[in-house]
Structure 1
Amino acid sequence: MAKRLNNDSPIGDILNKIIQVNKLQSGMDQIDVKDAWANLMGNGVNSYTQNVVLKGSTLYVELTSSVLREELSHGKSKIIKMINEELQRDVVTNVVLR
């Protein structure tokens, strides 16, 4: 039987416990990474972004512009660092631009 939290628990603690017990962290990471990409890259890059998918610790980004893909490929380590800082933990270790 699961441990019951008392009525004085903050809602954030309760939600974190639900995520942990139901093993939902990977799905939450997917959502968080998509939001971080949108926030960090801005409207210019987002207008050329088709899809952002996190598989394991690798971020796959589909772009419609080959020029932008080439430009971003030079800053992969910076992209990884910025996303992990935004999420306040190491989620992404590699970026694949398609």
Structure 2
Amino acid sequence: MAKRLSNESAIGDILKEFIQVNKLQDGMDKIDVQHAWKMLMGNGVNSYTKEVMLKGSTLYVSLTSAVLREELSYGKQKIIKMINEEIGKEVVKDVILR
């Protein structure tokens, strides 16, 4: 059972404790990565994006445009860096564009 926090605890501390105790961090990271992709890539890329999925530390992105997939493949390291900076921690280590 989790330790009881005092009544004066900040809501952020309580939420962090809840996420940690219930082992929800992986799911939160998946949501954060999807949100970061949408924010960073903009409407142009998002209109060709079918699916953004994080498995382990690999980000899988399904695209409907072969040309866009080729263009983005040249900037994989930049994409990884931008997403990790947006999230505030190193979650993504590789990007697979399909």
CA distance in structure 1 between the aligned counterparts of 2:54 and 2:81, rounded to whole angstroms: 15
CA-CA distance at 1:53 after TM superposition:
0.2
Moved over 3 A (4+): none
CA distance in structure 1 between the aligned counterparts of 2:58 and 2:66, rounded to whole angstroms: 20
Where does 1:11-50 land on structure 2 (aligned, <5 Å)?
A: 11-50=11-50
TM-score by length of 2: 0.98
What does residue 96 of structure 2 align with?
96
TM-score by length of 1: 0.98
CA-CA distance at 1:2 after TM superposition:
2.0
CA RMSD of aligned residues (A): 0.5
CA distance in structure 1 between the aligned counterparts of 2:48 and 2:95, rounded to whole angstroms: 16
CA distance in structure 2 between the aligned counterparts of 1:94 and 1:25, rounded to whole angstroms: 19
CA-CA distance at 1:20 after TM superposition:
0.4
What does residue 79 of structure 2 align with?
79
Unaligned runs of 5+ in 2: none
Which whole-Å deviations, capped at 9, do the CAs of 1:34-83 have from their partners, x for residues lacking one? 00000000000000000000000000000000000000000000000000
SS of the aligned residue for 2:40 comes to helix
Q: Percent identity?
A: 73
